[in-house]
Amino acid sequence: MIANTISERDLLQAVIRIDGMNTLGSRIAHYRSLKGISQAKLAKACGWASQSRIGNYEKDTREPSLDDLELIAQVLDVTVAELIGSELTISGSLQNVEPPLQPSRGPQAYPLISWVAAGGWMESCDNFLPGDAEEWLSSEENAGTNGYWLEVKGRSMFDPTGLAPVSFPPGHRILVQPEGFDVISGKFYVARLRGEDGRWETTFKQYVRDAGSSYLQPLNPTFETLKVDDNVEIIGRVIDSRPPRSVF
């Protein structure tokens, strides 16, 4: 039995690790991390031009084909069964262990940055200085160490009908969590889009999962809905917002 081979503490840690790998995407990210390679290196080793495919797989916004899973498994030195989780089973008295209560936190200030900066934020945030921000805004939502605000541009996320429960007119500020977020249908996200010229553009849309496909959908029906593919990379979840700055 498992209790005869590992300690109770080791078992608890195993439970925590398995609980944190409850999706295909999280397992790909886990084994990639163990291998010590980046998304870009994994994509290159699989013969893919962009890391966005790996990013979307790890965020569970796209479902990989069996051929893709076999490629990923080969590079990561694991089996396809390990990736899809068929070997992750557990039993024992520690199944119902409750996580410790998290300490309360007060408001946290995050920088208001440009849309251009947001596109490469996780590669450049370590070099970001307090004076580089256009403004610092506080929130009680936890966007993580590298969270940031953006100011909504354009009218694609403004609902002209007034029927949507939320609407983001130009000038509205949105708080973005760039790490450790879940991708959930109906929630709002910031994504990078690669154009035909190879350049990336950052956008803000509602993520919708329908009939096995993923889309980035505007609230304004006059704007185009985008299908999530290799040219789309979701880079952050919007977790807070505030109205446009007052002109008075």
Q: Is 45 exposed, middle or buried (0-12, 13-18, 19+ CB in 10 A)?
A: middle
Domain boundaries, given as residue ranges, for the chain: 2-84, 108-242
**Residue 100 DSSP label:** P
> What CATH number should be reported for the domain whose range is 2-84?
1.10.260.40
Tell me if 241 sits within 8 A of 174, measured CB to CB.
Answer: yes
Tell me if 178 sits within 8 A of 149, measured CB to CB.
Answer: no
Helix H or strand E segment including 33: helix 24-35
Q: Do domains 2-84 and 108-242 have the same CATH topology?
A: no
What span, in angstroms and rounded, lies between the C-alpha atoms of 19 and 13? Answer: 10
Fold of 108-242: Umud Fragment, subunit A (2.10.109)
What span, in angstroms and rounded, lies between the C-alpha atoms of 205 and 226? Answer: 9
User: Whose structure tokens read 């593919």?
Assistant: 229
Residue pLDDT tens, the chain, 248 long: 444 444 444 443 444 344 456 788 888 988 888 888 888 889 888 888 778 888 888 888 878 888 888 889 888 888 888 888 754 433 333 344 444 444 545 788 899 988 887 776 555 444 555 556 778 899 999 998 888 999 999 999 999 988 888 999 999 999 999 988 889 999 999 999 988 888 888 999 999 998 888 999 999 999 999 999 989 999 999 999 998 776 55
User: Whose structure tokens read 């899973």?
Assistant: 69
Mark out the alpha helices in 47-132 (DSSP H runs). Answer: 52-58, 66-76, 80-84, 115-119, 121-124
* Strand-pair partners of 237: 177, 189
